[in-house]
Structure 1
Amino acid sequence: MKLLIVGATGTLGRQIARHALDQGHEVRCLVRNSRKAAFLKEWGAELIVGDLCQAETLPPALEGTDAIIDAASARATDSIKQVDWEGKVNLIQAAQTAKINRYLFFSILNAEKHPDVPLMEIKRCTELFLAQSGLNYTIFRLCGFMQGLIGQYAVPILDNQAVWITGQSGPVAYMDTQDVAKFALRALEVAETQQKTLPLVGPTAWTAEGIIELCEKLSGKTAKIARVPLGLLRFMRGFTRFFQWTYNISDRLAFAEVLATGQPLDASMDEVYQILGLDLEQTTTLESYLQDYFSRILKKLKELDYEKNKAKKKKKTPFKSSV
């Protein structure tokens, strides 16, 4: 199958590209900077320079394409409205014109419950726009990646730095991006996923406190926990709205507030496993994911410490005592 992957340099997109190439698909990636995406070309993907926010750059990327996998998301320096709404509208309309056979889009779980949160409202509107487009779509609703937990929890704990958590932590069913890629590519092969909106979440929902406790157990270290009161988060969100150049920060704080309300981000995956013919037992658990990370990093730290001590011993010069 000839695939166009949008957002292929991101945490999720690169996993989808890697798995698609391993499965023998012809992979084309829409990228804004070919130099930063050079690793995709080395893997065997074709790079097409273009930008979602510039509609005229999209048609060349769609020529001869069978399916689009849209894993793009606004970066911290991007405008959420421009990339996640205007850019997606451009892509969907281009796909309509090019008569693309399949379109796979990643949204956010429970987006319809938070119309006051810009990112979630934009995702909801994009879902509706795609559903009305006439394309053979599949929408997967995600809630968080295990990869993001390394920088948020594991690294600070190893470095004896503070782990910041907000408000009343709600449980989140994080998923390994490699599993997300596996589910996405499988969905393209199964006709029952067409015109479907499905949850895509991990086996177990975890609170921030539970993740910290697991990291402490696996690392042998005690975490330094710093809490951000929900009231402060709401104040900062409102304060940043006074300044035009901080709108993007305010939008992201609004999304962070959703995670701090204590409401769970989880859903049943029974239908998804049944439709795709996949096995829950083969989906990565957070315990195994973090166990693998800490095993590798602690082994590396021991090796570095050994090499450091070995180098110190070599620098020592014995002095003969005079008689």
Structure 2
Amino acid sequence: MTLLIVGATGTLGRQVARRAIDEGYKVRCLVRSPKKAAFLKEWGAELVRGDLCYPQTLEAALAGVTQVIDASTSRATDSLTIKQVDWDGKVALIQAAKAAGVERFIFFSILDADKYPNVPLMEIKRCTELFLAESGLNYTILRLAGFMQGLIGQYGIPILENQPVWVTGASSPVAYMDTQDIAKFALRALSVPETQKQTFPVVGTRAWSAEEIINICERLSGKDARVTRMPIGLLRGVQGLLRCFQWGWNVADRLAFTEVLASGKALNAPMDEVYTVFGLDKQQTATVENYLQEYFSRIMKKLKELDYEKNKTKKQKNKKTPFKQSSKVNSQ
């Protein structure tokens, strides 16, 4: 039995791959660049070159595969559009998995995708959920809210480096979850019969607003944040302008997601029943406070070490040797 992981080099996908390998699964990863995915091979995964946007590459990748976990999504740095990857690519993958006789298919969606028809990524996720449900595959859909890992780049690093922290509109509280915990649910879904042909929210222990996250980061770092608020009206204007140019469509689609984060509506859902179905312990799920505390403890310790080494080197350079002193005396 082989498990194919799509998007295994991403923030979430690599955690799914790591856990699957640790749990003894025979893991195969669909990758566009084997060189960039070399760490997956070192972990013990089989690498197969392929691309969702080139459906002809999927048949070989799915040969002998019984289970698929799809953690892929378009990236901000990609030249490809959201539609190309998150719709056309997903449709091709689902169809190829069906043709290959895949027994289980795990798909990551976004919480409340059906409530934002004008946000391209949300609407595409909603449509993909429907397409997967009607495909005939034995699926499980996990609806996520946000990754704790994203908090570091959005809040942690800017505050440490005294850079602006951008906050948009009325900040929507988000129930962030550690990708390691999300990986637990994905792998457990493969073996729990009650998850078959079902959809579940998979979110953190509580929802956090941008202001609350900033307060935690300030307290743990000992630094004040430079908060800059971006009016949602301005972002809408920029988004509309970008849609006037073909090269700006992809950026405009991504900016549209700010409507979700600035709506003021919490991205959160009850999880007690989900934990029961999956047989997981909520007490073992990482919290935002603990996650950020661990990060700042490591980074502050490292900064102190670097500062100590810097001062030590500086003192050594300033210290005069006996030879220099005697030379100076003789010259007098």
1:90 to 70, 84, 92: 92
**Equivalent residues in 2 for 1:113-192 (5 A)?**
113-192=115-194
The answer (yes or no) to whether the contact 1:233–1:257 under 8 Å persists in 2 is no
1:74 maps to what in 2?
A: 74
Tell me which residue corresponds to 1:58. 58
Using the alignment, how far apart are the partners of 1:22 and 1:49 within structure 2?
Answer: 23
Residue in structure 1 matched with residue 207 of structure 2 by the alignment = 205
Name stretches of at least 5 consecutive residues in structure 2 with no aligned partner. none
Structure 1 position 270, deviation (Å): 1.6
Structure 1 residues 227-266: aligned runs within 5 Å:
227-266=229-268
Does the aligned pair in 1 maintain the 2:66–2:101 contact within 8 Å? no
Q: Tell me how far apart the structure 2 counterparts of residues 178 and 317 of structure 1 sit (CA, whole Å).
A: 49
Backbone CA RMSD of aligned residues: 1.0
Alpha-carbon distance, 1:2 to partner: 1.7
How much has 1:313 moved relative to structure 2?
Answer: 1.1
Following TM superposition, by how much is the alpha carbon of 1:255 offset from its aligned partner in structure 2, in angstroms?
A: 0.6
Counterpart Cα distance in 1 of 2:17 and 2:272? 26
Contact 1:169 1:208 in 2 (8 A): yes
2:26 and 2:125 mapped to 1: Cα distance? Answer: 28
The one-letter amino acid of 1:158's match is L
Contact 2:2 2:64 in 1 (8 A): yes
Q: Give the total of aligned pairs.
A: 323
CA offsets, 1:258-282, max 9 Å, x none? 1011111000112210101111110
In structure 2, what is the Cα distance between the partners aligned to 1:234 and 1:258? 13
Aligned residue type for 2:69: I
- 1:268 partnered with 2:270: yes
In the alignment, which residue of structure 1 is the partner of 2:279?
277
Q: Do structure 1's residue 306 and structure 2's residue 326 form an aligned pair?
A: no
- Distance between the aligned counterparts of 1:80 and 1:33, measured in 2? 20
Q: CA deviation at 1:73?
A: 0.1
Partner of 2:111: 109
Superposed CA offset, 1:161-217 (max 9, x none):
111110110100000000000111011110000000110100010000000000011
Q: Report the Cα offset of residue 129 of structure 1.
A: 0.3
Amino acid paired to 2:23: Q
Equivalent residue of 1:181, what SS?
Answer: helix
Q: Does the 8 Å contact 2:68/2:106 carry over to 1?
A: yes
Conserved 8 A contact 2:7-2:70:
yes
Task: Give the equivalent residue in structure 2 for 1:288.
Answer: 290
Query: Partners of 1:25 and 1:263 in 2: how far apart?
Result: 39
Partner Cα separation in structure 2 for residue 150 and residue 59 of structure 1: 38
The structural deviation recorded for 1:247 is 0.3
Take 2:49 and 2:204, find their aligned partners in 1: how far apart are those partners? 33
Letter in 2 for 1:34: P
Separation of aligned partners in 2, 1:51 and 1:230: 35
Deviation at 1:230, TM superposition (A): 1.0
Give, in whole Å, the separation in 2 of the partners of 1:199 and 1:275: 12
Report the 3-state secondary structure (helix = DSSP H, G, I; strand = E; otherwise coil) of the residue aligned with 1:311: helix
Which amino acid counterpart does residue 34 of structure 2 have in structure 1? S
Distance in 2 (alpha carbons) for counterparts of 1:314 and 1:217: 35
Counterparts of 1:34 and 1:257, CA distance in 2: 36
Q: Secondary structure of the equivalent of 1:15? A: helix
Out of 187, 193, 206, the position equivalent to 2:195 is 193
TM-score normalized by the length of structure 1: 0.98
Match of 1:9 in 2: 9
Shift of 1:317: 4.0
Indicate yes or no: 2:31 matched with 1:31.
yes
* Partner-residue secondary structure (3-state), 1:66: strand
Residue segments in structure 1 that go unaligned for 5+ positions in a row: none
**Aligned mates of 2:316, 2:290 — CA distance in 1:** 39
Separation (CA, whole Å) in 2 of partners of 1:70 and 1:20: 13
Range moving further from structure 2, 92-101 or 308-317: 308-317
Q: Is the CA contact 2:30–2:48 (under 8 Å) kept in the aligned structure 1?
A: yes
Counterpart residue type for residue 53 of structure 1: C
